[in-house]
Amino acid sequence: MPVISFEHVSKVYPLPAGDVVALDAVDIAIEAGEFILVMGPSGSGKSTLLNIMGSLDVPTSGEVTIAGNRISGMDDDDLTLLRRDHIGFVFQQFNLIPLLSVVENVEYPLILKARQNGSRERAEEVLEAVGIAETHFSHKPGELSGGQQQRVAIARALANDPDFLLCDEPTGNLDSKTGTAIMDLLDRMNREEGKTVVMVTHDPRMTDYADRTIRLVDGRVA
């Protein structure tokens, strides 16, 4: 059973100047353990696809199933809990919470899920797994380099042991060397931990890491 399934999914944004079709009858099935790249020119619907996969948005029509849950008819609370329990996000801008220390950022989704504190050990374990030294645990995100921040973001995404990682240009804000290190980390998580990874990128070199690539053009799978 696919971990992500799109059946004839369309997304239309109604605008005063006329409707904009971001996704047009897309069919996708992603199996557990796959490393998938989503590529396409700007405006091709990559972000919309990723948002719907991440249950941050809902389709206008069609059926989306995420980790066995059909998202049609779900309310905001259901979608939020689906994100919390099944999906790990890695953003281009890292999006760490500046109020929190490194380890607290990783602990955050764990506390959201468990509704209590005491997840520090798990947070530290994941941070070590992504290569963050213990000396950095109490630092604030702003005190780390871009590469380190992205590692922390990956640790945060992995903390709740999600069914898949959604990565939105995770190397877009990093130099090539750091970008390669981050890709190696994601590759390792995919191969060794069996994590499903779906990654949006513009960089054709990333295809080396992927099992397959979904190419979008004008909202359709090419």
Partner 1 sequence: MMFFSFAVRNLRRHWIRSALSIIGIVIGVIAIASLGIMGNSINLLVANIITDVGDTVVITPHTAIGGTFAGDPRTAVDAAIPAREVEEIRRAANPHRTIPVLQGADEVEFGRGESGYTQIIGLASDDIPILLELAEGQYPRQNQPGALVGTYLAAEYDIAPGSKITIGNESIRVAGVLAERGFAADINPDYAIVVPDDWYESHFGANDAYPMVIVRVGDVEQIDAVKDAIENRINRREDIVDVFDSRDMLRQYEEIYQQITAFLVGIGGISLIVAAVNILNVMYISVTERIREIGVMRSLGALRREVLRMFLYEATILGLIGSIIGGIASAVSGYLISLAAVEVFTAGTTFGENFTVFDQSAVGFIAFGMAFGIATSIAAGFYPAWIASQLAPVDAMRQK
Which residues of this protein are in contact with partner 1, per CB under 8 A?
A: 51, 54, 56-57, 76-77, 80-81, 83-85, 89, 91, 95-99, 108-109, 111-113, 117, 156
- d(C-alpha 32, C-alpha 26), whole Å: 19
Chain centroid, CA 99 distance in Å: 22
CB nearer to partner 1: pick between 95 and 213: 95
**Shortest distance, position 80 Cβ to partner 1, whole Å:** 5
CB 47 within 8 Å of CB 57: no
Find the shortest distance in angstroms from Cβ 155 to partner 1.
13
Nearer to partner 1, 21 or 81 (CB): 81
Q: Which residues contact 89 (CB under 8 A, 6 or more apart)?
A: 54, 83, 95, 157, 165, 166, 167, 168
Tell me whether residue 105 or residue 210 sits nearer to partner 1 (CB atom): 105
Please, which residue, 198 or 210, has the CB nearer to partner 1?
198
- Minimum Å gap between C-beta 30 and partner 1 is 20
* Least Cβ distance, residue 85 to partner 1 (angstroms): 8
Q: What minimum distance in Å lies between the beta carbon of 184 and partner 1?
A: 25
Q: Which is nearer to partner 1, 13 or 61 (CB)?
A: 13
